[in-house]
Amino acid sequence: MILDVGHGSAAVLIDEKEAIVVDAGSGDLVTETLERFEITEVRSLVISHRHHDHTSELPSLLSNPDLEIKQLFLNADPTRTPSTPFEEQLRAALNDSVRRSGTEFQQANVTLGARMSTARLTVEVLSPSVDLQLSGVDGETASGEVLHPHALAVVLRVSVENGRAVLLGADLDYTRFQELIDNDESDLSADVLVYPHHGGLSGAGSESAEEAFAGRVASAVAPDVVVFSNGRDRFRNPRREIVRGIRKATDAKPMRMVCTQLSKECCAEEIPADGRLDDFLASAGGATGKSCCGSMIIDLGGHEHLLPIGHKHLDFVLNTVGDQALCLGKSLLQGEEAEGDVA
Amino acid sequence: MSGIAGLPRVLGLIDDEPDLSSAIERRLSSFGFEVRLVVPSGPSLSETVTEVMDSAEAAFCDHYLSAGFKVNFSGAELVASLTDHGFPSVLFTGVLPKEQYAIRKNMASIPALLTRDGAEGLSGEPLVTALKESVSEVRDGNPPARRRGRRTPVTIVESRISGTERLVEGLVAGWGGTEPIDIPAELLAPPWCEDPAVAVGHTFFARINISELNPSRLFFDSFEEDPATVDELITDPVE
């Protein structure tokens, strides 16, 4: 499941009665989702990086007496100020979880995917590399670049036996994602791509560079579904040039783009209608009327479509949002012929 | 009409202001509920709980009861006690900021709270919605998401006195807002509640409904010290 946490990230991958949780970006939505699916054991809780939109639920998750978290993967970040209340709370909660559940605490890099995996969910850590982790956040590369937290974001590819896979792009920056694309040993192919940085800027530079980069990402992953874990907020994600780059790169392939919340780029006015695919799932936008797809189930098991009841999204967009919806593609190609690929 | 399916039909109304109670009675009656005014016969909370439960199936209760009744408890305490007895009830009140400390002490057991604007709203919908939520939480054990308590860290950043109330201000992990929340110091466990200034800078665990967006509706209970804080106390005891 990709959860609608607004601007942020949280994903829950369920294998029978245990789960892998990747990021914990808001309120208590991960907790509520685990409760709804009667999950009491988290095999691996992986935090891609230490920014608040990926960590805000982490202290309460670790403090939950009804939840056993076996392993926490959390990378060090010296740019965090240890004396802030949040860092104090994280320290208290992690120690509490270690005392109560024996949680193993370790840092994540490409060598540790197997440790995160469950019986049926195979995890590969695509980034950070060992070299990057040796430098660390705020450290320097051999070329003298000071590493931003996004450079060390943990990117995962999670697959099942039938070959279906999801790539969770975290907030990985342009340089590191380009290195992944250029590295022949990295298998980036996935049926579902959760696009990096909520569809926001990657650091590629100009608008045209962002568009070109998005196209290269989409070509390398070749997804059937692209998910933007975005908020209906001032960031206005996903960015127009990124959607355009993906659309152009995948023109020949039926592909669905979905957002957790209704971007202001698609519709500036409040829409009273509820676009959520599944109102059983907790969504941050559900309570505030901001959802587009809301939280969504991705069916890697192959029993259903990748995005069950995904047609509801198309109905919502066509009938309620209209031609300005970025995912329809009609408003993207200014000066070019609009192509109404609504697959 | 005979009320709304699935909800109690006979409602008790405890309010010492006749003008307000008649407005609420009229609105609830328009939905088909039978509304019975309950006048406490004595100052005791337990006797009033019995009187309410004997005369109705659910209740609406004003927070301020002392103007017209000779009682020594607040509506918040009455609703909390009714909740503890598995009896659905709704608390309504006037200006919330003035009363929030007394209400917050009991908020964990107040399943529905309406401000006077809500209670006198244009229609009775807020009243019925509040009753539905109370019944769902108290009778069916199914509170809405924003009423579910989560054990989470809370860091005390300030202590102060407001009127006669000793308060601490706490930053709550996982809550959507960023501002510190006023917490009655008596909710902290001893020795912290006796000298709340000592709690400043320390982190505790408490059960808090962190998905509630409205800070006035947050509840706090089951405070525990972070063991690291206790360790500090052992080496540097509170005087």
Same domain, B136 and B34: yes
CB-based contact, B176 to chain A, within 8 Å: yes
Residues B28 and B57 sit within 8 Å (Cβ to Cβ): no
The 10s digit of each residue's pLDDT in A27-37 is 899 999 999 99
Tell if the CB–CB gap between A32 and B205 is shorter than 8 Å.
Answer: no
- Token pair for A336: 């070019």
The H or E element that residue A61 is part of is helix A58-63
User: What per-residue confidence (pLDDT) applies to A274?
Assistant: 85
Cβ-in-10-Å burial (0-12, 13-18, 19+) of B80 comes to: buried
Mean pLDDT computed over B54-60? 97
Interface with B, mutate which of A26, A28, A35, A58 (most B CBs under 10 A): A28
User: What per-residue confidence (pLDDT) applies to B231?
Assistant: 62
Instruction: Give the CATH number for residue A25.
Output: 3.60.15.10
User: What per-residue confidence (pLDDT) applies to B122?
Assistant: 47
Position B207 in a domain: yes
Instruction: Give the CATH number for residue B172.
Output: 2.40.50
Tell if the CB–CB gap between A88 and B150 is shorter than 8 Å.
Answer: no
User: What per-residue confidence (pLDDT) applies to B117?
Assistant: 67
Same domain, B53 and B151: no
Instruction: Give the CATH number for residue B107.
Output: 3.40.50.2300
CB-based contact, B32 to chain A, within 8 Å: no
- Residue B189 confidence (pLDDT) above 90: no
Mean pLDDT computed over A164-182? 97
- Residue B35 confidence (pLDDT) above 90: yes
Interface with B, mutate which of A4, A64, A67, A88 (most B CBs under 10 A): A88
Collapsed DSSP state (helix, strand, coil) of residue A287: helix
Mean pLDDT computed over A64-82? 95
- Name the residue among B145, B152, B157 with its Cβ closest to that of A85: B157
CB-CB neighbors (< 8 A) of A86 in chain B: 173
Same domain, B155 and B138: no
Position A333 in a domain: no
Position A171 in a domain: yes
- Residue B232 confidence (pLDDT) above 90: no
Task: Work out whether strand A225-228 and strand A192-194 pair parallel, antiparallel, or are unpaired.
Answer: parallel
- Residue A338 confidence (pLDDT) above 60: no
Q: Which of A241, A234, A132 is nearest to A176 (CA)?
A: A132
Percent of chain B topping pLDDT 90: 68
- Interatomic CA distance for residues A215 and B14, integer angstroms: 66
Tell if the CB–CB gap between A63 and B171 is shorter than 8 Å.
Answer: no
- Residue A269 confidence (pLDDT) above 50: yes
Tell if the CB–CB gap between A88 and B203 is shorter than 8 Å.
Answer: yes
Three-state SS for chain B is CCCCCCCCCEEEEECCCHHHHHHHHHHHHHCCCEEEECCCCCCCHHHHHHHHHHHCCEEEEECCCCCCCCCCCCHHHHHHHHHHCCCCEEEEECCHHHHHHHHHHHHHHCCCEEEHHHHCCCCCHHHHHHHHHHHHHHHCCCCCHHHCCEEEEEEEEEEEEECCEEEEEEEECCCCCCCCEEEEHHHCCCCCCCCHHHHCCCEEEEEECCCCCCHHHCCEEEEEECHHHHHHHHHCCCC
Model's pTM, two decimal places?
0.91
CB-CB neighbors (< 8 A) of A90 in chain B: 173
**What's the domain count of chain A?**
1
Q: A17-55 burial, b for 16+ CB within 10 Å, e for fewer?
A: ebbbbbbbbbbbbbbbbbbeeebeebbbbbbbbbbebbb
- Other beta carbons within 10 angstroms of residue A100's beta carbon come to 15
Mean pLDDT computed over B153-166? 93
CB-based contact, B153 to chain A, within 8 Å: yes
Position A3 in a domain: no
CA distance B180 to chain A (A): 11
Tell if the CB–CB gap between B153 and A32 is shorter than 8 Å.
Answer: no
CB-based contact, B230 to chain A, within 8 Å: no
- Name the residue among B145, B151, B226 with its Cβ closest to that of A32: B145
- Residue A139 confidence (pLDDT) above 90: yes
Tell if the CB–CB gap between B203 and A92 is shorter than 8 Å.
Answer: yes
Q: Which of A234, A246, A227 is nearest to A290 (CA)?
A: A234
- Residue A60 confidence (pLDDT) above 80: yes
Position A255 in a domain: yes
Position B26 in a domain: yes
The H or E element that residue A207 is part of is helix A207-221
Same domain, B88 and B131: yes
Longest dimension (CA), chain A: 61
Sheet with A256-259: strands ordered across: A122-127, A155-159, A165-168, A192-194, A225-228, A256-259
Percent of chain A topping pLDDT 70: 97
- Select from B143, B173, B191 the last residue of a domain: B143
Structural domain span for residue B174:
147-235
The 10s digit of each residue's pLDDT in A74-99 is 999 999 998 899 999 999 999 999 99
User: A295: pLDDT confidence band, cut at 50, 70 and 90?
Assistant: very high
Mean pLDDT computed over A277-304? 89
CB-CB neighbors (< 8 A) of A65 in chain B: 151
- Name the residue among B146, B151, B228 with its Cβ closest to that of A95: B228
Q: Provide the CA A42 distance to its chain's centre, in angstroms.
A: 18
Sheet with B165-172: strands ordered across: B181-184, B165-172, B150-162, B203-208, B220-225
User: What per-residue confidence (pLDDT) applies to B109?
Assistant: 97
CB-based contact, B207 to chain A, within 8 Å: no
User: What per-residue confidence (pLDDT) applies to B229?
Assistant: 67
- Residue A179 confidence (pLDDT) above 50: yes
Position B163 in a domain: yes
User: A68: pLDDT confidence band, cut at 50, 70 and 90?
Assistant: very high
User: A270: pLDDT confidence band, cut at 50, 70 and 90?
Assistant: confident
Residue type, A152: L
Position B2 in a domain: no
Mean per-residue pLDDT of chain A:
92
Same domain, B116 and B200: no
Position A4 in a domain: no
Position B5 in a domain: no
CB-based contact, B55 to chain A, within 8 Å: no
Same domain, B101 and B118: yes
Position B4 in a domain: no
- Residue B239 confidence (pLDDT) above 80: no
Residue type, B229: T
Structural domain span for residue A69:
10-328
CB-based contact, B143 to chain A, within 8 Å: no
- Select from B112, B143, B174 the last residue of a domain: B143
Same domain, B191 and B76: no
**What's the domain count of chain B?**
2
Position B80 in a domain: yes
CA distance B34 to chain A (A): 32
Q: Which of A260, A250, A234, A266 is nearest to A332 (CA)?
A: A266
CB-CB neighbors (< 8 A) of B150 in chain A: 28, 31, 60, 63-64
Same domain, B109 and B190: no
End-to-end CA distance of chain A: 21
- Select from B80, B113, B143 the last residue of a domain: B143
The H or E element that residue A258 is part of is strand A256-259
- Name the residue among A29, A31, A60 with its Cβ closest to that of B173: A60
The 10s digit of each residue's pLDDT in A3-21 is 999 999 999 999 999 999 9
Mean pLDDT computed over A250-254? 82
C-alpha count within 13 angstroms, C-beta hemisphere, residue B18: 1
- Interatomic CA distance for residues A100 and A65, integer angstroms: 8
